[in-house]
Structure 1
Amino acid sequence: MTPRRKNRKLDQWITFWSVPFFFNVFGLVFVPLSWMMPPRSPSASTAQIVAFMQSHNLLVACVLLTLTFGLAPVSNAVYLMQIKRMSVSPAFRYTLMMGAISGAVVGMLFPMFCFGLGAFRPGYSPAVLAMLYDFGYLAFIGSLGCFCVMWMAFGLAILLDKNNVLPKWLGYYTVWQYMTELMAAPVWINKSGPFAWNGLMTFWFTVVLYVSWQLVVYTCIYRSIKRQPATELDNADLYTATGDSSIGVTA
């Protein structure tokens, strides 16, 4: 019997290409729909906060994010599949998985619900709206711990891996990149200047580093998936059992 699915890496390619789709939706929600990003000033006036928090666009953005939120774990599976191939403890994979779960909650759901509440409940007092405004931005930009730990685990897994699944320089790059995330810690203290949540160092500098790092990571992961031997695939036995002898690197 000939198997129906010839592309043994279809599951990996689905998770891989879900990443740009998800981040495009994520960008659509946080920029043109809601204008939450770039971050508004933490020292904005009460009138400015109320006008922003009661925008109907926030409700539309909240609905769209709620519908596509499930793509977050799919996109994180890209990293987990690569770590699974490495000669390291499963603890690295579990650390990244749990960090991704907690990061999605505090860095995505909390901000969206905080901002969406302003439009959903127009009767809230300005003081309540100001609290939700602060809560939303501090959760989005100030939730450092889960992200630093999960990406530190990813970088260390690359460095300790003896199978050379991903290049060693990417491990050093990843560790360095997420050490710079610690610069966002002062957002809990500063309401103006380069270390406020909309500041040059805590937002703009780290965003440039993060985006460039993500592009490099996914280029390396793309090449790693292409190079992966069919004997490493979880569904390799199915094809071997059915008489398919084309064992090797498949696209």
Structure 2
Amino acid sequence: MTDTAAVLTEDGSGGPPKPERLGKREVWIFYWAFSVFYTALSVGICLLGRATPPPRPDVNAMQAAAWFDQHQLGIQVGFVFLLVIAGGAAISNGIIGYFMMRMSSGKMLAYAYIATMGVGAIPGFQLILACWLTATFRPDRSPDVLYLLYDLGMLSYNGSLGCFTAAYTVMAIAILYDKNGIFPKWFAYITIWQIVTEILASQMWLHHSGAFAWNGMITLYIALVVFGLWIVCFLALFRIAASRETVDTPALYELQDAR
């Protein structure tokens, strides 16, 4: 009886015990947190805050002040909501770093990704929330002050380049050099296009209208298409990678690193 029990798995079937699937439940929790955060981000930024698609850059101070007055409630509701859930960005960066640490390219690139995205969240996300909420907090301010907050928020949100360029660079390098097959190589090339769109976005600091302005076809809409494709592909690959996780997955990768 003892010998028979020793070869039975938990479901009573014969054969060697199978590795427990989904041993790290937090991986799936983070998967859904990632999905929910980006959905909530889209609602707050696009539908309520009206930052994407953005308002026009070729306006004067009175027009900028009138725009804040027109969208005051949406900005206040949407952006206060985003301030509450802003920590979701750290969760998103952390789960990407988690899978990068599983790559044979080494943990330093994962640390670099997490650090650069963490720094980039301040100019690329938090600053527009602070600027536009400040503008709507006292709408009777001078139109020139509101004009400054209008420009500073949008240029920071769409034109914060260096941190994100560095983050996507180290991620692409990690995927290309990885031998563990965490993510397919083609995802690295989509990530490289993220770098290209960040570089193109530098032109918005020089143009008030046209394809290179902050609401232009090249600096904004192409970038949105590439980013949307990147997110969709990442969620699909994230799900595949998470489904391969087992209780002993960390030990296997630590053994590979030791070799």
Fold-level similarity (TM above 0.5)? yes
What CA deviation, in whole Å up to 9, does each residue of 1:113-162 have, x standing for no partner?
A: 10111111223211110001010000000001111110111111011112
Instruction: Give the match for residue 52 of structure 1.
Output: 67
Task: Kindly indicate whether the alpha-carbon contact (under 8 Å) linking 1:29 and 1:61 is maintained by their aligned counterparts in 2.
Answer: yes
2:183 is paired with a residue whose SS is coil
Answer yes or no: is the 8 Å Cα contact 1:156–1:175 preserved in 2. Answer: no
Residue 95 (structure 2) pairs with residue 78 (structure 1):
yes
Task: Please say which structure displays the higher CA radius of gyration.
Answer: 2
Kept in 2, the 8 Å contact 1:53–1:116? The answer is: no
Structure 1 ranges of 4+ moved more than 6 A: none
Alignment partner for residue 57 of structure 2, among 42, 55, 62? 42
Unaligned stretches of 5+ residues in structure 1: 235-251
Residue deviations 1:196-249, cap 9 Å, x none? 000011001110111012111221121112123431247xxxxxxxxxxxxxxx
Partner of residue 148, structure 1: 165
Confirm or deny that 1:129 pairs with 2:146.
yes
Does residue 27 (structure 1) correspond to residue 42 (structure 2)? The answer is yes
TM-score when normalising by structure 2: 0.84
Aligned with 1:98 (options 115, 122, 134) = 115
Q: Is the 8 A contact 1:8 1:233 kept in 2?
A: no
| Matched residue type, 2:180 | N
Distance 2:74 2:193 in 1: 37
TM-score for both structures, normalised by structure 1: 0.86
Q: Which residue of 1 aligns with 2:134?
A: 117
Letter in 2 for 1:15: F
Partner Cα separation in structure 2 for residue 150 and residue 181 of structure 1 = 11
Q: Which residue of 1 aligns with 2:244?
A: 227
Write the mapping of 1:148-227 to structure 2, written as runs, cut at 5 A. 148-227=165-244
Q: How many residues align?
A: 231
Amino acid at match of 2:235: Y
**Quick one: structure 1 residues 140 and 13, their matched pair in 2 at CA, closer, same or farther if it must change by over 3 Å?**
same
Q: Report sequence identity in percent.
A: 31
Unaligned runs of 5+ in 2: 1-19, 252-259
Task: Name the amino acid aligned to 2:148.
Answer: M
| Distance in 1 of aligned mates of 2:181 and 2:74 | 46
1:8 to 23, 26, 42: 23
Distance 1:43 1:180 in 2: 22
Structure 2: which amino acid aligns with 1:95?
A
CA contact (8 A) 2:48 2:78 kept: yes
